[in-house]
């Protein structure tokens, strides 16, 4: 009886093929994972830009005519489009002045260099918010409050801060 020690050539070829197939699959998964990580990072940066742009727009009073477009000074590879539209309703029972002042604001963030800026796929992130625009009476009240503050500002300039410690 002849005792065999070791593996046959066929067993080695099959083991090598299985190992090569596993390595190729693993290599493809690593490549795909790094691509998804890059996409996630890009979306995170775009979302931060969108939130910042929306906050700046709302803080400015959201009074613009039409769409605003631009790029970011911090990273000129990104651009934004701000679309502002009034919300209208067909329901006759909902015609209060409060609802007519409601606006829909959409901030779209995209990479500079995308050929078609108006296509739906161009934007990496779209952030939508609804905001109330101030009524005319609120604007008048705000303007009068601003004028009162500016007149008080000259009085405040003469007041010096208290530097003594209280007992």
Instruction: Give the per-residue pLDDT at 1.
Output: 56
- Each residue of 59-92: pLDDT tens digit? 887 666 678 888 998 888 899 999 988 877 665 5
Quote the CA–CA distance of 83 and 99 in Å, as a whole number. 19
Instruction: Give the per-residue pLDDT at 87.
Output: 76
Instruction: Give the per-residue pLDDT at 142.
Output: 62
pTM (predicted TM-score) = 0.60
Quote the CA–CA distance of 8 and 1 in Å, as a whole number. 18
Where would I find the beta strands (DSSP E) of the chain? 68-71, 78-86, 102-111, 123-132
In a domain, 139, yes or no: yes
In a domain, 160, yes or no: no
CATH number (domain holding residue 136) = 3.30.1300.30
In a domain, 159, yes or no: no
Per the CB < 8 A criterion, the answer to whether 107 and 54 are in contact is yes
Residue 158 pLDDT exceeds 60 = no
Per the CB < 8 A criterion, the answer to whether 130 and 98 are in contact is no
Domain extent for 53:
13-147
Domain count, the chain: 1
Per the CB < 8 A criterion, the answer to whether 43 and 59 are in contact is no
Q: Is 110 exposed, middle or buried (0-12, 13-18, 19+ CB in 10 A)?
A: buried
In a domain, 4, yes or no: no
In a domain, 122, yes or no: yes
In a domain, 47, yes or no: yes
Overall average pLDDT of the 31-52 stretch: 94
- Each residue of 125-156: pLDDT tens digit? 999 998 877 666 665 666 666 555 444 444 43
């Amino acid at each position: 009886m002849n005792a065999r020690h070791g593996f046959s050539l066929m067993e080695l070829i099959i083991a090598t093929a299985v190992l090569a197939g596993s390595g190729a699959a693993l290599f493809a998964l690593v490549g795909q994972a790094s691509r998804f990580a890059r996409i996630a990072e890009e979306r995170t940066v775009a979302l931060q830009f969108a939130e910042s742009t929306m906050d700046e727009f709302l803080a400015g009073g959201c009074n613009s005519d039409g769409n605003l477009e631009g790029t970011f000074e911090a990273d000129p590879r990104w651009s934004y489009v701000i679309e502002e539209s009034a919300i209208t309703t067909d329901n006759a029972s909902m015609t209060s002045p409060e609802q007519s002042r409601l606006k829909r604001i959409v901030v779209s963030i995209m990479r500079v260099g995308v050929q078609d800026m108006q296509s739906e796929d161009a934007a990496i992130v779209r952030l939508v918010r609804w905001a109330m625009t101030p009524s005319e009476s609120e604007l008048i009240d705000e303007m009068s409050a601003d004028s009162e503050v500016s007149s008080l500002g000259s009085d405040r300039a003469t007041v010096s801060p208290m530097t003594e410690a209280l007992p």
